Structure formats: C-alpha cells, structure tokens
Chain A
Amino acid sequence: MSKELIESILTEENFEKLYEVIEANKGRKGPLMPTLHAAQNIFGAIPYEVQKVISEKMNVPLAEIYGVVTFYSRFTLVPKGKFVVSVCLGTACYVKGSQNIIDEIEKIIDVKVGNTSPDGKFTLEATRCIGACGLAPVMTIGEEVFGRVELSDVSTIMAKYL
C-alpha cells in the first residue's frame, strides 16, 4: 500500500514546485533544511525519489540528505494518513493520564502509535508538548484541537472520523 501511496504523490506538478524552491534557495547559506521543509509540505513526505532529485540539483550527497531526513521527526519517508491523530505525551498531559487515552485510540482505530492504517486513513502519533498545557490532556486530529479530554470522551471524538 505504501508503495502506491508514494507513487501517488510523485506528480510532475509537485516536482515543478520543488524545482522552484531549490532555485529560490540558491545562494542562500545553509539551504538544506528550508528545502526539506518545503519538500515535506509539497509532497507530504520525502521519499527516496524526492531525495534523489534534491541531491542532484543541490549537489549534496544522497547519504547526507537521507541522514538529515531520518534524523528529524517532522520529515517522513512515507505520507501520513488522511487524519493525523496526535495525542500529547508532554509532561503536563502525561501526569493527567494521556497514556490511557492513546491506548484507547490504538484500540479504536487499530493502528499502533507511529503508524498509518493500511487504507491510509489514520496516522496515530504521540507528540511531545504542543504547549497547550493549560488544557491538558490534549489531543489533535488534523487542525482540530481537543482539550481536557476524558477517557470516556475518546470514543465520541473518534466516532466522527471513523
């Protein structure tokens, strides 16, 4: 499945956008990180095919690019699901029981933390502090934020997306 998912994002249009970014970053000092951020936004992931293009156009060894992409958690090799479910496991949320919440979601959508469901619908993530500690425990689905989540709320929240 992930192979098809990757192929679906490797469109000519996306590559055109990438070339523009690489061109715009020419002459800038330390251009790799901004370029990778842009690539992640354009494609939704930075798979091998994209890394190879960046490597050739920017004259940076592919191994180095692979090293950087896999170091940072924001860059991914495969695209994320349609709904990215993130549960905050920062200190404030953890002490208020967010581990139980993430366990419950794992059960509901049958996806392990850090993975994407085979149909590409859900990605489940444990995030570190998103800085909304006042609302702990916090979870987000896409852009939507759910604060002061109780274990009993989880099934209702998830039902909307199933």
Chain B
Amino acid sequence: MSLVRSHVLICGGTGCTSSGSISIHEKFEECIKKFGLDKEVKVVKTGCFGLCEAGPIVVVYPEGAFYSHVKVEDIERITEEHLYKGRIVKDLLFKQALEGDVIKSVNEVQFYKKQKRVVLKNCGVINPEVIEEYIAFDGYKALGKVVTEMTQQEVVDEIKKSGLRGRGGGGFPTGLKWQFTLDAIGKEKYVACNADEGDPGAFMDRSVLEGDPHSVIEAMAIAGYAIGASKGFIYIRAEYPIAVERLEIALAQAKELGVIGDNIFSTDFSFDLEIRLGAGAFVCGEETALIESIEGRRGMPRPRPPFPANKGIFQMPTLLNNVETYANITQIILNGAEWFRSIGTEKSPGTKVFALGGKINNTGLVEIPMGMTLREVIYDIGGGIPNGKAFKAVQTGGPSGGCLTYKHLDEQITYDNLVRLGSMMGSGGMIVLDEDNCMVDVARFFLDFTVDESCGKCTPCREGTKRMLELLNKICDGKGEIEDIARLENLAVNIKDSSLCGLGQTAPNPVLSTIKNFRHEYISHIEDKKCEAGVCKALLKVTITDKCIGCTACTKVCPVDCISGSRKEMHVIDQNLCIKCGACIEKCPVNAIILK
C-alpha cells in the first residue's frame, strides 16, 4: 500500500448528492490525473458532513480546508492551486472558515466546535463503501471483544450501566429491553433495526446508514450475541435509495470477511442479517406495526402486551432498536459505560443527533451532548435565523412533538425536560420557525400528516384526528368559533388517552402545544379573522397602499369589478366583493397592491 500526502473528502450524503457531488467527484479524479497527482492525492467519497446548507462540501486533509458550495468549475482551480502548488483557495472556503486572513480548519468552525461526535464519529471521515476503512477506525473490535471475552449477561449489564435510552423517541432504557429479550424464552430469537425514519424533517438515521453503515451492522451482531439471536432484520424506508445501497454493500463486505455469518471470530456464535424494505407507511415506525409489515401484512399495530421482547417477529422474542441507538453500542463496549455516562446528563446520558431545519442559517445534521440548551443549538451551532427575522418557535419531535417558544430557549435538551415542556425528543427533527410562520397553520400541517398516515385500526385516531383537522381547517378559513379551542382540547385529551399506539397517543401534541404557547394566534384567527404571519389565505385581504399612482390598470383586470377610483387618484378595493384572485397584484406596475 502506498502512502498519500493529501486526502480530498467529498460528501456523498443525500443532500450533497442532490446538489451534484457525484460530478464533482469525477471532475476531481480527472484533474488530479491531469496534474500527475494521482499517486499523491486520494479522493474519498464519505458520508454526510452535517452542514447540508453549505453543500456540496469538500474537505482537504491534512490542512482540514473546508470548501463549501463547490461547483464543478471550481475544481480545476482547487487542484492546481491547493493540491499542486499548496496554496489554499481562500475565496472558495466556507465563509466561517476564514477569519480575516486566518484559515480555520474544519473542526474549528463554529458549527462543529460545540458538537460532540459519538454516533457520527465516522460520518464524513471514512468511505462507507470500504470495510477496511471502518476497521481502521476500530471497526468490529467491539464485536470481537464481546464474542471472545464477555458473557451474554455481561454485555447486557454494560448497556444497562451506560444508561443508554432509546433514540427512536420514547427514551425507554435500552439495557432493560435487552434484558427482557435475553430472559424471554423462544425457539428462536430475532434482532431488528428500525430504520423506517418517516418523521418529516428528520434525517439522522439516514445519514448514519449512509455514512457509517457498519456501525449499525456490528451493533446488531453484538445484540444478537447478547440476547441469543442468530438472525436479524433491518427494516429501512425504500425512499432512501442511497442508504439502502450502502447498507447492501456493507452487508456483503461483512459477510465476505466473515464478521457476519457462521462461527464469527471462530466462536460458536453465528449471525445472519437481512434487509427488508418499507413501502411508505409512517405508522410502520411503530414497533408492532413494523413487525406486522416484516411478516407481510398491513402495517397495523398490535395491542401490547405481549411486548415484542416476548412475542415479536413470527411470534418469537424480538429485540427492536432504532438506528441511532445501535450506533451508540460499539462505542459503549469499547470505551465502557463509565465513559458514556460522562457525556450528557445523569438521566439522559450520551449525545443526540438532531436534524436542524426550517428557518435557520446552518441547516444540517448536528450531534450534541444531552443537556445543551436550545439557545446554544439554534444560535451557536445553527447560526440563528436568516434575513434578520425574529425567532418564533422551535418544533421538536415531529408529528408527535410540540412547539416551544423563546421562553424555553434556555431549557436543557433532555428526554424528561422536553416532555415536561409539552414536546418530546422524538427521533430528532428540530425545525425552527420565524415570524412568517403561522402556528395554527403548523398545527394543521401536522394534523393533516397524521390523518393521512393513521392506519385506521382504532377509532380515536382514525376518526378523532380527522375531526380535529376539520376544526383547524375551519379556523384557518376564518369560520372558527371561540368554542372550537375547547373542542380541540377536549378531543385531544380523549385521543391521547384512548388510542392504541404511539401514533394516535401523540398525534394531538402539536395542537395542544400550540394552543398552550400561542393561544393568542388562535384567538386572533377566530375573533379578529386575522393571520398575523400572513399564511392563512382566507384571512388575508388585498389592499392598495399609498404607492398607488392611479393608472387604473387594476380596475380593468379585476374580474368582479370591485376596485374603484378615478385616474391619478388612489384606488380602493371593496372587501365584500373581492375574491382574492390576485390578478390586480400581478398587473400593478408599481407593486402598490399587497396581501395582508
């Protein structure tokens, strides 16, 4: 093997691939050959760097030079100047990587400085399609340690001691789940991975699978050893083609090397893994629905108990964890439970990955130690709100979570704290909203989603969420009554109490939390028929401002003749007749007509 002096790391995550990183990769290979550098410089396609906003991203080591928004046209320059002549191309660097004349390496950039990478430690570092690179970063060492040196109970105890909690949203202690499945009796046992990340606005699991698929495969084998299973399933969304492909490649390589298969590390332990594709049903992220789906049925939840730990896939004891939960396992085995507990807070140890999106400067993937405040994530890492707009709310937990306001910015991010505030951790979506977002509309958006995705098995969820959506539509259309707020709250409490699975039990949360924190917006929609943010179209009025020059162009185009005024005088719209078609707005030569 020859040594190279420079590595060019190109992001191959979904975000950067969508903005053209594949052609950038090809161009780099071409340019490097052209300058005769192909023996000295190596181009590596990695997983997600996290800062999707700045994509496509290229990082050159050993300097750690962080190029952002890279275009195909820039590559010849980067190759010639940086790789050939050794001068970093300053004007192509990520803006925050340049302070005056000083170049900061990627790790010193504000976005990464406050992060703590445990789950994402290999993402954006190794090539996920080469197992040797994973092994070079201690890959499959934890599996080796477990099968040769530890008993099943010792493994479970280590996970229990670490205090790791399920990263899929509920926060159930992982070690306890492992203990239940170890103790369960069955002819066969299964290990399953929930990679059906359907939560809109969340892409943590996808990034882990794209950037470091072996970390999940290895952890599942460890789990298989710990609970006594010889077969595993990864249930992944078919909507994630890149993640599925990398997982398939990784699995094939692991089988070829013998770290998955029969007699792993020459022991009696054998473990086989199979990928199963989801087919676009959000409810399949619920554990019992996922099991139904693997078995080949409609993904409808089963009543619990019996829990999957006792009767799961094909009625056998099944251990089901989320992708991010598994991605923590190898680190805990290698570094010990004590080390893991030293990160985060006492009741929520470790880190959490969040997908930061919405009205925020640095959209992307961040991993933070638990206990960090919302303010630190949104302002220090996320870089605040773009275009000088005011922060209004942050939505966590997706359709199951809630909206928090500026009052909560200094609250710590932990499982229990977020629930106390009326939201939840969820799988890790974090969407920032600004003054242009209407909270009633946001609540309606999530309800629309749950109504669409409700499987229809139990009545409270199937019928109740639909009634709630009707009430919200009524309010957004300007036909709301003040009693509707109480009706919504009443329905919400009943749906939460009586639904069969987590989907229904949490579906009213976005409505409850917006009513709690933004009641005034509901009231102004109902009583004043006004949408302050200007989102709910039915509540907007077309008005002519004093910019009007009296050209009469709008009166001619109005289909209902509701605009009056003579030449060179300001025109007026009769609001009772206006149908809000917007034709006048388009016609006005001086942009004097606005929707307000």
Contact = CB atoms under 8 A, between A and B. Distances in A.
Interface of A: 29-34, 36-37, 64, 67-68, 71-75, 89-92, 94-96, 127-136, 138, 145, 147
Contacts of A36: 279
B199 A134 contact: no
Contact of A37 (B279, B295, B355): B279
A67 B313 CA distance: 20
A132 B239 CA distance: 12
Contacts of B429: 91
User: Which interface class (under 10, 10 to 19, 20 to 34, 35 or more) fits B?
Assistant: 35 or more
Contacts of A67: 297-298
Interface in B445-499: 445-446, 449, 455
A133 B201 contact: yes
B238 A71 contact: no
23 contacts: A30-B314, A32-B297, A33-B277, A33-B279, A33-B293, A37-B238, A67-B297, A73-B280, A73-B281, A74-B238, A91-B395, A91-B398, A95-B431, A129-B198, A129-B200, A129-B201, A129-B203, A131-B206, A131-B240, A133-B355, A134-B15, A134-B357, A136-B357
A30 B450 CA distance: 28
A137 to B, nearest CB: 11
A75 B429 CA distance: 27
Nearest to A131: B203
Contact of B314 (A29, A90, A131): A29
A110 B53 CA distance: 33
Nearest to A129: B200
A26 to B, nearest CB: 14
B279 A128 contact: no
Interface stretch (B88-96, B116-124, B215-223, B358-366): B358-366
A135 B296 contact: no
Contact of A91 (B277, B293, B298, B358): B358
A141 to B, nearest CB: 12
Interface string B236-272: 0011100000000000000000000000000000000
Interface in B273-331: 276-282, 293-299, 313-314
B363 A95 contact: no
Interface string B180-199: 00000000000000000111
Given A72-B299, A95-B437, A130-B239, A135 B280 contact: no
Contacts of B313: 30
Contacts of A37: 238, 277, 279
Nearest to A64: B297
A135 B19 CA distance: 8
Contacts of A128: 198, 200, 282, 449
A75 B15 contact: no
A34 B281 CA distance: 15
A83 B80 CA distance: 41
B201 A132 contact: no
A30 B18 contact: no
Contacts of B52: 132-135
B15 A135 contact: yes
Nearest to B239: A130
Contact of A131 (B14, B280, B358, B431): B14
B71 to A, nearest CB: 14
Contacts of B437: 95
5 nearest interchain CB pairs? A134-B52, A32-B296, A91-B201, A72-B279, A92-B357
Contacts of B295: 30
A133 B277 CA distance: 22
Contact of B445 (A33, A34, A94): A94
A70 to B, nearest CB: 9
